[in-house]
């Protein structure tokens, strides 16, 4: 087994990467270690890697997911962050998890991704893909007006701070904080959640993952666009953004959290 250990940039994560590497080598694995800040300089392919172990929080996993999307390389997240929705284990669970990895006692969840394209006049710009969400948000302290169409059929106009289009994975993140529903990972759907809508009728909408979502700006000032928290371009008056399912996905290892005591209360999971 060829394993890449990817750790966030701090001393604890580095020390854990050394310990995990020794344990894996003891089981016969071939191990390489990489700082997460260096991932953009490396090509990660399924020939050189059978498994990626990520030591970090959800942010580190999101950055890693963008680099391995579509490769089929499974990812195991070890939580060194605050919440760790995308991680499977805590550092103290490593010995149990290692035995399960070696004996293939785990399941793989294929997490769908979405892609976004900006249409401004006669120009079309690919913005990239997102595992969690695409967010359009006001860059000023005033509401914006956003039109929503589903498969070229007008649905509604939201007026408020912005709008989120989230995957099932991202439904537990910003969308949930904005009042959106939580979707199970195996639900083939997207959720569109308005951010602080001015009218009570501005509710979240769940659509089929094969749908094409069109977001149109009706604002006289620019609004910001982020994909998984990364700033992209701005949406100006009359611009449209097309959001649809990507042909790439990310495989994340899932282990039964009930097999060991947790340090957090069950209400957080």
| Domain CATH code at residue 22 | 3.40.50.10330
Based on the fold, state whether residues 60 and 119 are members of the same structural domain: no
Within this chain, do residues 70 and 142 fall inside the same structural domain, yes or no? no
Backbone φ, ψ for residue 25 (5° rounding): -60, -35
Tallying the residues shown for the chain, one arrives at 269
In a domain, 74, yes or no: yes
Q: Which of 221, 71, 62 is nearest to 136 (CA)?
A: 221
Phi, psi angles (nearest 5°) of residue 12: -65, -45
Whether residue 126 sits in one domain with residue 228: yes
The last residue of one of the domains, among 81, 105, 129, is: 105
Residue 62 lies in a domain: yes
Kindly state whether residues 99 and 119 are assigned to the same domain.
Answer: no
Domain that holds residue 154: 113-247
Residues 120 and 228 in one domain: yes
The verdict on residue 266 lying in a domain is no
Q: Are residues 134 and 237 both part of a single domain?
A: yes
CA pair distance 133, 241, nearest whole angstrom: 14
CATH number of 168's domain: 2.60.200.30
Tokens, residue 114: 């979405």
Residue 154 in domain:
yes
According to DSSP, the residues that pair with 32 across neighbouring strands are 4
- Is 125 found in the same domain as 89? no
CA within 13 Å, CB half, 53: 30
pLDDT of 200 reads: 61
Q: Is 48 helix (H, G, I), strand (E, B) or coil?
A: coil
**72 and 145 inside one domain:** no
Residue 195 sits in the same domain as residue 76: no
In a domain, 136, yes or no: yes
- Of 58, 133, 161, 228, the catalytic one is 58
CA distances, 98 to each of 46, 72, 86 (Å): 21, 20, 18
Contact 227, 134 (CB under 8 A): yes
Distances from the Cα of 134 to the Cα of 10, 43, 73, 146, 238, angstroms: 29, 25, 24, 14, 18
Same domain? For 229 and 133 the reply is: yes
- Residue 76 counted as domain residue: yes
Contact 134, 170 (CB under 8 A): no
Is 58 among the residues known to form the active site?
A: yes
Residue found under tokens 């910003």: 174
Please check whether residues 80 and 130 belong to one and the same domain.
no
What is the chain's pLDDT, residue by residue, as a tens digit (269 residues)? 899 999 999 999 999 999 999 999 999 999 999 998 888 767 788 888 999 999 998 889 999 999 999 999 999 999 997 777 888 899 999 999 999 888 888 888 999 999 999 999 889 999 999 999 999 998 878 899 999 999 999 999 999 999 999 999 999 999 999 999 999 988 999 999 999 998 766 789 999 999 999 999 998 887 999 999 999 888 899 999 999 999 999 999 988 653 444 433 333 33
254 inside domain:
no
> What is the count of structural domains for the chain?
2
Q: Which of 105, 126, 152 is the last residue of a domain?
A: 105
**Which candidate, 202, 165, 160, places its Cα nearest to that of 183?**
165
Residue 233 pLDDT: 85
32 in a structural domain: yes
Q: Which of 87, 105, 123 is the last residue of a domain?
A: 105
Angle between helices 11-26 and 94-102 (to 10 degrees): 40
Q: Are residues 226 and 207 in the same domain?
A: yes
Q: What is the pLDDT of residue 3?
A: 94
């Amino acid at each position: 087994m060829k394993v890449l250990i990817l750790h966030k940039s701090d001393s604890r994560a580095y020390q854990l990467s050394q310990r995990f590497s020794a344990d894996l080598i003891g089981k016969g694995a071939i191990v390489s270690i990489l700082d997460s800040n260096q991932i953009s300089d490396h090509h990660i392919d399924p020939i050189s890697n059978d498994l990626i172990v990520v030591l970090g929080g959800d942010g580190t996993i999101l950055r890693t997911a963008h680099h391995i999307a579509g490769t089929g390389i499974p990812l195991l997240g070890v939580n060194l962050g605050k919440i760790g929705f995308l991680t499977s284990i805590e550092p103290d669970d490593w010995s149990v998890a290692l035995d399960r990895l070696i004996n293939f006692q785990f399941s793989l969840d294929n997490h769908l991704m979405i892609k976004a394209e900006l249409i401004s006049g006669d120009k079309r710009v690919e913005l990239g893909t997102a595992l969690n969400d695409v967010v359009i948000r006001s860059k000023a302290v005033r509401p914006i007006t956003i039109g929503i169409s589903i498969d070229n059929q007008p649905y509604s106009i939201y007026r408020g701070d912005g709008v989120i289009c989230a995957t099932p994975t991202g439904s537990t993140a910003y969308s949930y904080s904005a009042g959106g529903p939580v979707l199970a990972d195996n639900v083939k759907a997207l959720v569109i959640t308005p951010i602080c809508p001015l009218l009570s009728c501005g509710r979240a909408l769940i659509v089929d993952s094969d749908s094409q979502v069109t977001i149109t700006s009706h604002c006289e000032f620019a609004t910001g666009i982020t994909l998984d928290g990364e700033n992209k371009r701005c949406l100006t008056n009359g611009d449209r953004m097309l959001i649809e399912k990507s042909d790439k996905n990310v495989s994340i290892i899932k282990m039964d959290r009930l097999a060991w005591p947790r340090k957090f209360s069950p209400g957080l999971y």
